[in-house]
Structures are given as structure tokens and as C-alpha cells.
């Protein structure tokens, strides 16, 4: 059994054409969603796509042996920083509806992970209505949480700030995990969105472990995308300060979080598992996505992460079972 906790929606072009319309008229023409048939939704999952190495979504996950994939909105499409806030809300809700329909069309292959309408012009408590709708009405099993709703245009409150507490309260109430994953990245930032993801994940881990969040919400389940940003690989920078401060050792605090294996080299995955522990690592590929290109050195896909995990010779069969499925099944109550 392989459960991929880090997948994103493959949607027909009509969804993104509608988004372009929302951006052009800024909500003046209303928010009526596009008419997308079930047949069109099915086709999108079987169509070759140039951004995915000219193969389809199902080609990718079937080739990797993925039995169940948790799918969320494409983060760079989520436009959290756009105005007015109603267009962010409309697009988020319809994207979640399309995810739900995809799960219904392919039963047993997908589970939904919600996007939240994280407009900075809305109070975070207002974001949680969509979390509750998707979990209680649509059967979603988690949510994305973007640490930077401003998408690079301003400095957001760190995840240790009480600003985020309404979201943490709702996650605990519903008993679903949050997957930390930044969204877009706009000027005046210096970096592209892919690097922005890693930087925001790094700051997110630092902020959570430097705050009272995990004490105030002991049942909070937080997964950090892309192997946890830089922290698991630079953890030595934080060990001495942890000793100076006393209390819980830094590595022990780090292991209060979970991390996906969405990394594209064996060395980085191996280091993550050694630092975080087998029980804190969840199989994630982002297939199809950034890594869906052929590696000229191997002839395989960069995001064939199942092969990289299998190549780690010191993992036991029980370890692999935990990483590939058992940890996710328990965390997401699958």
C-alpha cells in the first residue's frame, strides 16, 4: 500500500480561465463558477500534459504504485494576496468543489485536502468556515496552510503568533492535519515561488518550535512540506541554543511535527529520516508537479520518490511500510 500525502489537483483549463476572468473584472461580474462536466474532469486526469513531462496525472501515480493520493489545490494558483477578498474566496471554494468531484469520480484513488481562502483582508477565523465545510460536508481529511498569505508583498505574522490561533482551534476541533505549504510569490520578493516554499517552510518550523503553539494545542497535527524546508538539514544550528535555553531538547521538539518526503535525492530523504525519525515521515511526491521531468542521468522521473526510499538500505520492511502508508493512515484517520 502506498499513500501519497502530497498531491495537487489536475484540473481542466476551464477552471483557470475562470480564474483569469475573476482577476480581470475583480468580481464585478459575479462569481458564478464555470460549467465543467464530469467527462471533462475525467479527461483532465488522463490527458498528457507538457508541464508533467508529456504524460498524464494517472500515468504518474500509477507508475509510482500510488494507491491513494491526497490532493489539494495547486498552491501557486491560489492567489491569496489578490483583492478583493471575495474573488479569493470564490476561487478557493470552487477549487475545493472540483477536488471533491474528482474524489467522487475516482473512488478510492483520491482524498481531498482543502485550500483555505487565506486573504489577508479576512480575519483567520473567517477562513475556517471553508475548513469546516470541506471536512464535515465533503469528507476532506486535511487542509493546506500557507504561512504567507501576502505572497511576498508584506511580512506576515509568524506561525507562532496568536493571529493563527483560530485556525489551530478549528484543526483540533475537526481532528485533521494541516500541511504547511506556501502559495505564490510576488514582487518585491527576490525569489521564485518554488524557493519561496522552502523559505516559508523553514521559517514556519522555526516559529512553531520557538513559540507556545504546540503547548497550547497539544493535539495539533502539523506536516511540513518538502522535507521541512531547511531545518532538518541545518538542525545543528539550533541544537546549541536549545541547550542554552534549557527545557525540551531541540530535536525532541522537532519530532512533534511531521514531514513529507517530497525531496528529489536519496541523500536528502535519508538525512530527513535520520533526523526526524521513521515515525515522523510521510510519503509525498507532489506527482505530477515540479519533479515530473526525466532525469537524464537515470532515465527515470526526478519525482520517483518511491525508488529513492527503496534504495535506502538500512530501512527495514516495517520502516518502509510506516513511511509509505501506516503513518499517513493513522495521522489522517484513513
The catalytic residues are 286
* Mode of pairing for the β-strands spanning 258-260 and 110-114: unpaired
What is the torsion angle, in degrees rounded to the nearest 10, for the CA atoms of residue 293, residue 296, residue 298 and residue 303? -20
Helix (H, G, I), strand (E, B) or coil at 56: coil
Cell (9 digits) for 289: 508537479
Helix axes 13-25, 85-105, angle to 10 degrees: 170
| Residues in CB range of 29: below 8 A, 6 or more apart | 21
- By three-state DSSP, how is residue 325 classified? helix
The answer to whether residues 157 and 204 touch, using CB atoms and an 8 Å cutoff, is: no
Q: Rounded to the nearest 10 degrees, how much is the dihedral formed by the CA atoms of 105, 31, 134, 122?
A: 150
What span, in angstroms and rounded, lies between the C-alpha atoms of 285 and 258?
A: 15
Neighbours of 225 (CB within 10 A): 25
How many C-beta neighbours within 10 Å does residue 210 have?
A: 15
Q: Which of 258, 271, 188, 265 is nearest to 225 (CA)?
A: 258
Beta strands in the chain (DSSP E): 3-8, 68-72, 110-114, 142-145, 178-180, 222-224, 258-260, 281-282
Angstrom distances, CA of residue 216 to CA of 26, 68, 275:
39, 33, 25
Task: Give the three-class secondary structure for 55.
Answer: strand
Amino acid at each position: 500500500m502506498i499513500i501519497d500525502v502530497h498531491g495537487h489537483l489536475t484540473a481542466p483549463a476551464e477552471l483557470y480561465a475562470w480564474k483569469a476572468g475573476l482577476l480581470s473584472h475583480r468580481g464585478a461580474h459575479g462569481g458564478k463558477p464555470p460549467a465543467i462536466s464530469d467527462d471533462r474532469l475525467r479527461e483532465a486526469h488522463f490527458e498528457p500534459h507538457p508541464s508533467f513531462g508529456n504524460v498524464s496525472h494517472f500515468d504518474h501515480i500509477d507508475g509510482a504504485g500510488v494507491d491513494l493520493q491526497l490532493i489539494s489545490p495547486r498552491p501557486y494558483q491560489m492567489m491569496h494576496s489578490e483583492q478583493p477578498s471575495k474573488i479569493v474566496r470564490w476561487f478557493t471554494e470552487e477549487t475545493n468543489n472540483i477536488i471533491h468531484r474528482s474524489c467522487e469520480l475516482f473512488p478510492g484513488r483520491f482524498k481531498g485536502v482543502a485550500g483555505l481562502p487565506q486573504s489577508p483582508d479576512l480575519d483567520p477565523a473567517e477562513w475556517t468556515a471553508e475548513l469546516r465545510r470541506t471536512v464535515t460536508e465533503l469528507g476532506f481529511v486535511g487542509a493546506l496552510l500557507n504561512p504567507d498569505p501576502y505572497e511576498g508583498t508584506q511580512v506576515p505574522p509568524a506561525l507562532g503568533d496568536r493571529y493563527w490561533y483560530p485556525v489551530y482551534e478549528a484543526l483540533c476541533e475537526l481532528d485533521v492535519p494541516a500541511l504547511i505549504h506556501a502559495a505564490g510569490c510576488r514582487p518585491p520578493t527576490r525569489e521564485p515561488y518554488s524557493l519561496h516554499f522552502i523559505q516559508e517552510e523553514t521559517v514556519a518550523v522555526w516559529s512553531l518550535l520557538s513559540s507556545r503553539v504546540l503547548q497550547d494545542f497539544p493535539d495539533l497535527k502539523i506536516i511540513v512540506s518538502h522535507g521541512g524546508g531547511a531545518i532538518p538539514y541545518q538542525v545543528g544550528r539550533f541544537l546549541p541554543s536549545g541547550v542554552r535555553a534549557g527545557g525540551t531538547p531541540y530535536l525532541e521538539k522537532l519530532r512533534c511535527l511531521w514531514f513529507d518526503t517530497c525531496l528529489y535525492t536519496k541523500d536528502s530523504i535519508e538525512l530527513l529520516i535520520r533526523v526526524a525519525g521513521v515515525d515522523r515521515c510521510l510519503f509525498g511526491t507532489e506527482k505530477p508537479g515540479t519533479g515530473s521531468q526525466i532525469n537524464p542521468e537515470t532515465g527515470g522521473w526526478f519525482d520517483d520518490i518511491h525508488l529513492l526510499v527503496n534504495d535506502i538500505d538500512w530501512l527495514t520492511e516495517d520502516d518502509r511500510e510506516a513511511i509509505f502508508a501506516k503513518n499517513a493512515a493513522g495521522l489522517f484517520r484513513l
